[in-house]
Amino acid sequence: REREREREKMWHCSVFSISSCFLFFVFLNSSTTNALSVDLINTTCKQCADKSTILSFDFCLTSLQAIPVSHATNIQGLAIITMELALKNATNTVSSIEKMLITGAFDPFTIGCLKDCFELYADAVSMLVNSVRAFLSEHFDAANLLVTMVVEAASACEEGFMEKEGEVSPLTKENYNLFELSDVALCIINLVSSHSPSLSS
């Protein structure tokens, strides 16, 4: 009886010890991943901001820090995530423009601009989907070109409203976000491309 109780007690202690070690390992591994991801994001955003006169370090940091750290374990992952963030922005903006057009609360000039922006953003969605595919296939030049066209689409949308003096764009925030996200994506694609042993095409 006593021996059985002692064995049972020792068994429970062993299980507890193993569980404790496992939990400690998971916690340690998670903490290490978190630290590496945060460091990667900081370093990447700094590199990109230093290379550009228009890219905002704070915007880059805030945008990338919002993603789960487990998704940002390497620079290739950051490139994909940034393109996906831009895609989400463009997709949401297409829906927003549709709602604006339905309300009929704008003058003919603004409606014309919104329709142009709708086409630009619809194209941007398609281009971003294709840019992710190109990147995953290591066709970095193609991905670069597609994302560059998205940057131009955001600029074109905003500039359309400026053609009329005093006109205020209802899409300034969306255009800025898409422009910045795409610019960050471009920078990261170029960073990956410059360190890739594969030939991009």
| Residue 20 within a domain | no
List pLDDT tens digits, range 78-125: 999 999 999 999 999 999 999 999 998 899 999 999 999 999 999 999
Residue 183 covered by a domain: yes
**CATH number of the domain within which 66 lies:** 1.20.140.40
Q: What percent of the chain has pLDDT over 90?
A: 64
Do the domain assignments include residue 97? yes
User: Which tens digit of pLDDT belongs to each residue from 37-77?
Assistant: 778 899 999 999 998 888 889 999 999 888 776 666 789 99
> Average of pLDDT values for 21-28?
37
Position 24 in a domain:
no
**pLDDT the model gives residue 25:** 37
Q: Cα(88)–Cα(128) distance, rounded to whole angstroms?
A: 10
CA distance 86 to 179: 8
153 within a domain of the structure (yes/no): yes
93 membership: H or E segment, kind and range: helix 75-103
Q: Judge whether 32 lies within some domain.
A: no
Q: Are 82 and 188 in contact (CB under 8 A)?
A: yes
Mean pLDDT of all residues in the chain?
83
Task: State how far the Cα of 46 lies from the Cα of 60, in Å rounded to an integer.
Answer: 9
What's the domain count of the chain? 1
Report how far residue 187's alpha carbon sits from residue 48's, in angstroms, rounded to the nearest whole number.
6
Query: For residues 24 and 144, what is the distance between their CA atoms, to the nearest angstrom?
Result: 42
Higher-confidence residue of 10 and 60: namely 60
Rounded Cα–Cα distance for residues 200 and 100 (Å)? 41
Q: In this structure, is residue 30 part of a structural domain?
A: no
Q: What is the DSSP letter of 74?
A: S
Flag whether 19 is in a domain. no
Query: What is the chain's percent helix, strand, coil content, to nearest 5?
Result: 85, 0, 15
Higher pLDDT, 113 or 199: 113
Q: Which domain holds residue 181?
A: 42-195
